Amino acid sequence: MHAPDAPLLPNFLAGRWQRGIGPGQTLFDPVLGAPLVRVDNTGLDLAEGFAFAREQGGAALRALRYRERAALLAEVVKVLQTNRDAYDDIATRNSGTVKNDSAVDIDGGIFTLSHYARLGEALGDATCLLDGERIRMGKDPLFQTQHVLNPTRGVALFINAFNFPGWGLWEKAAPALLSGVPVIVKPATATAWLTQRMVEDVVRAGVLPAGALSVICGASAGLMDALQPFDVVSFTGSADTARLIRSHPAVAQRSVRCNIEADSLNSALLDPAVTEGSEAFDLLVKEVVREMTVKSGQKCTAIRRVFVPRALYAATAQAIGAKLAKTTVGNPRNEATRMGALVSREQFDNVVAGIAKLKTEAEVLYDGSAAGLVDADPVVAACVAPVLLGTPDPVGAKVLHEIEVFGPVATLMPYDSEAQAYELVRRGEGSLVASVYSNDPAFIARAVAELADSHGRVHAISPDVATSHTGHGNVMPMSLHGGPGRAGGGEELGGLRALGFYHRRTAVQASSAALDALAATGVPFRP
Ligand code: NAP
């Protein structure tokens, strides 16, 4: 469906606003089905735009100290806070999210920027990062090695997913800009409006140097071709597109550094010693329900597989189902709605098809669709009610460990021994996060030893942190985000660790006097 009368959003590239000359793609309200805006980048001179960012934006950013770039991030925070109401409105209309879910995206982005502004301030007036101590290489103590990290003299291209148009931009842009690397963002088309609007507000406020921040909306054709050896690309999206990015000549031949965040079948694991109705049991139930319903399950970190001792299978299904029954689904503008829509009717079709695939190996333990939608037409709205599936035979299952259904869907699976539980969790072949629920620190330590290598994050929930833990699916800027294997093998955030992606490490072998002079320009890198 195309709506040629919907307003066309301009791109910002080469320091100027530019509209595509093609018909563009229309963005829709996923609840009402109404056309909203169009995006298009046909006819844009990408080579010119990338060169402008690389040369003008990069030079201007690198001329600043970490502290000064951190101050820029703080200015961006102010701009976003000033315009927050507009973002909320766009999120309701284009992402179909209730206010709390929109906040995860909008305020999550602002919080992450603020965090990096604080971290950057502490790096002071340095212009490079000193990695480790000096190392003697022979008998002569005067000739030593110092590893040093300098910002790459390229652009950072972000190709983002549809589920976090706000946070997805800023969680990557904050460490990039703090590093001194200009950003070009290509948001996923379905929800590009919020990203475009945030960039527009920051550009119009004039807080960043020319070329530091650009936005290209619409088709992805030609973006990877524009990359040169010192550029970096950070991709978030499906494993299929990730394969194309990885095999593109920019990465395969020109060694463009590449970070991939892709599909993930995250797990929740209950300690075998936990009993029904105990605090740890209740914490698992609460977290699973939250993860299934926040942003309608459209979070890369959402719990997809739930592992409990076999004796608790029925009780867990019953407890999760009882809580899910309180989730009203429908139009986010209606106060009675707790969970809004998926981002598009296309995603609706994908989720319905995904549930059908999972059902070939699982039974339905809870299905909220009988309750109907609040204030929304089921023929038009991209609303899916929460569905809890389950199988008594997780060992024999295949697709349940392979297919990520990007919606309010999870599968409950019983295990027969602790060793089998770890084996089943690992069948996800690398995930962003596993959460474990237990009263027992020794069990948590064992679970970490078994699961850490296949997970970017292990989130342990015990009764003593019931009110203070940050949530299975919440990505905190101080902790690493990313996962091995199926999850893409990427690493983001983790405080100052994120700066590593945007810097090049060099071994400087020189005299003590030369290294003293170098050290005066740097600050120890202590992530
Ligand atoms: P997608 O179809 O792979 O799209 C992701 C991005 O890639 C979009 O901006 C898309 O643009 C662009 N793209 C599509 N084809 C491309 C190509 N040939 N070359 C370059 N770019 C291309 O993924 P999605 O369906 O939007 O995202 C959902 C997936 O993202 C889920 O599977 C989820 O697990 C994953 N995800 C992971 C994380 C994480 O941090 N690990 C976070 C969020 C989501 P268009 O929109 O214009 O097609």
pLDDT score, position 306: 98
3-state secondary structure 281-344: HHHHHHHHHHHHHHHHHCCCCCEEEEEEEHHHHHHHHHHHHHHHCCCCEECCCCCCCCECCCCC
Choice from 39, 164, 167, 241 to test ligand 1 binding pocket (greatest atom count within 8 A of CB): 241
Instruction: For residue 349, give the 3-state DSSP assignment.
Output: helix
Give the whole-angstrom CA distance, residue 125 versus residue 127: 7
Of 128, 127, 148, 136, the residue nearest 511 (C-alpha) = 136
d(CA 402, CA 487) in angstroms, rounded, equals 11
**What count of other Cβ atoms lies within 10 Å of the Cβ of residue 92?**
20
Residue nearest to atom 10 of ligand 1 (CA): 188
Residue nearest to atom 22 of ligand 1 (CA): 220
pLDDT at 236: 98
Q: Ligand 1: distance of its center to the CA of 240 in Å?
A: 9
On whether the CB atoms of residues 479 and 251 are closer than 8 A, the answer is no
Question: Residues 47-100: pLDDT tens digits?
Answer: 999 999 999 999 999 999 999 999 999 999 999 999 999 999 999 999 999 999
Q: What is the CA radius of gyration of the chain?
A: 24
What does the pLDDT read at residue 140? 87
| Atom from ligand 1 closest to the CA of residue 186 | 9
- In this prediction the pTM is 0.97
Q: How many whole angstroms separate alpha carbon 27 and alpha carbon 1? A: 10
| Residues 390, 318: Cα–Cα separation, whole Å | 11
- Of 94, 158, 159, 245, the residue with max ligand 1 atoms within 8 A of its CB, to mutate for a pocket test, comes to 159
Q: What is the percent of the chain where pLDDT is above 70?
A: 100
Active-site annotation, residues: 261, 300
Largest CA distance in the chain: 79
Which residues in the chain show pLDDT less than 50? none
The label of the residue with tokens 């996962």 reads: 483
Give residues (CB < 6 A) around ligand 1: 159-163, 186, 188-189, 220, 236-238, 241, 244, 261-264, 300, 404, 406, 432, 487-488
**C-alpha–C-alpha distance, residues 202 and 182, integer Å:** 14
Amino acid type, 430: G
Alpha carbon separation from 210 to 66, 134, 370 (Å, rounded): 18, 37, 53
Looking from the CA of residue 240, the nearest atom of ligand 1 is 3
Query: Residue 203 contacts by C-beta under 8 Å, 6 or more apart in sequence?
Result: 12, 213
Q: Whose CA is nearest to atom 15 of ligand 1?
A: 241
Name the one residue in this structure whose structure tokens are 């563009």: 24
Question: Which residue from 184, 216, 225, 236 has its CB within 8 A of the most atoms of ligand 1, so it is best to mutate?
Answer: 236
How many CA atoms within 13 Å lie on the side-chain side of 40? Answer: 18
Q: Whose CA is nearest to atom 46 of ligand 1?
A: 188
What's the gap in Å between 236 CA and the centre of ligand 1?
5
